[in-house]
Amino acid sequence: MATSQLFDVAGKRAIVTGGAQGLSRGMAEALLENGCKVVLMDVQREKLESVCREYREMGYEAHAVSGNLADRQDLNRMFDEALEILGGRLDVLIPAAGVQRRHLPEEFPADEWDFVLNVNLNHVFFIIQRALKVMLQQPTGGKIINIGSMVTWFGGTTVPAYTATKGAVSQLTRSLAVDCAGRNININAICPGYMDTEMCANMSQARKDETTPRIPAGRWGTPADLKGPVLFLASSASDYLNGALIPVDGGYLCK
Ligand SMILES: NC(=O)c1ccc[n+]([C@@H]2O[C@H](COP(=O)([O-])OP(=O)(O)OC[C@H]3O[C@@H](n4cnc5c(N)ncnc54)[C@H](O)[C@@H]3O)[C@@H](O)[C@H]2O)c1
């Protein structure tokens, strides 16, 4: 393959979860702008539909499937709907929907613990399981891009459930990569640093002010900062990359 075509994703079919806003939306947009047909999934029905309508008006092939990915039955229904829209083919899966809940560990409510695990970890594994059954039947295989975090490597403050799930997703990425590398499926993870999205809106201003000077790039990341890494991981450019955890963090992890 010519080097100029290594990053070509035109014509690929993809599912991105959590696509109504934030980083998932940015990642879906990278695929749409480069000619992919993308199903965006989210629990925020109206917002998701309006985002997809906006993309279709721009000439992109964006489709909305809404529902609650924390619910196994709903997840299966959503996957079936998406696969029908994509004509039975799936080349790229980005299970990026996530939630964060902040409490001191001794006060962390059990129902919120279960909720965070259901969204951030269980949805990731069970949608990958559905995707693998499709991708393994395709001669072209597939690409799966998980989303870790800086808390893949170190502890967060008042986010024990979130930290546990992001550590688990990173190890899941490695484990699944071992099982799938020889079967034409690449599974890797992007680990974003501090990104300016609604997820971080609940951080105190004092904590935000303390964080910014610790980012060597001198600024927080944005959804657009994930576009390049997504194209790399969704295309042939990453065909020999398996189980990698790629920090996209403005150098935060190095300091
Ligand atoms: N923002 C950051 O600093 C940061 C850093 C590292 C990793 N991440 C990860 O990136 C991913 C996206 O985060 P974000 O910052 O864009 O957050 P966000 O809160 O802006 O977006 C998350 C999206 O997921 C959707 N979602 C949540 N629960 C769902 C469910 N049960 N079913 C369907 N959809 C659901 C939400 O509706 C929302 O649209 C998450 O996995 C997050 O953990 C974010």
**Architecture of the domain defined by 3-249:** 3-Layer(aba) Sandwich (3.40)
Residue owning the nearest CA to atom 41 of ligand 1: 98
Residues with CB under 6 A from ligand 1: 18, 20-24, 42-44, 68-70, 96-99, 119, 147, 149, 192, 194-195, 197-200
111 by DSSP, 3-state: which? helix
pLDDT score at 123: 98
pLDDT in tens, 190-233: 999 999 999 988 788 888 888 999 999 999 999 999 999 999 99
Rg of the chain taking only CA atoms, in angstroms: 17
Per the DSSP assignment, residues forming a β-bridge with 147 are: 190
pLDDT in tens, 158-175: 999 999 999 999 999 999
Write down the domain spans for the chain: 3-249
For 169, the token pair is 């997703």
Of all atoms in ligand 1, which is nearest to the CA of residue 23? 16
Beta strand segments in 133-204, E: 142-147, 185-192
Per the DSSP assignment, residues forming a β-bridge with 14 are: 38, 92
The span from the CA of 161 to the CA of 159, in Å, is 6
Substitution candidate for ligand 1 out of 16, 99, 117, 165 with most atoms within 8 A of CB: 99
The span from the CA of 125 to the CA of 54, in Å, is 30
pLDDT (mean) for 68-86: 98
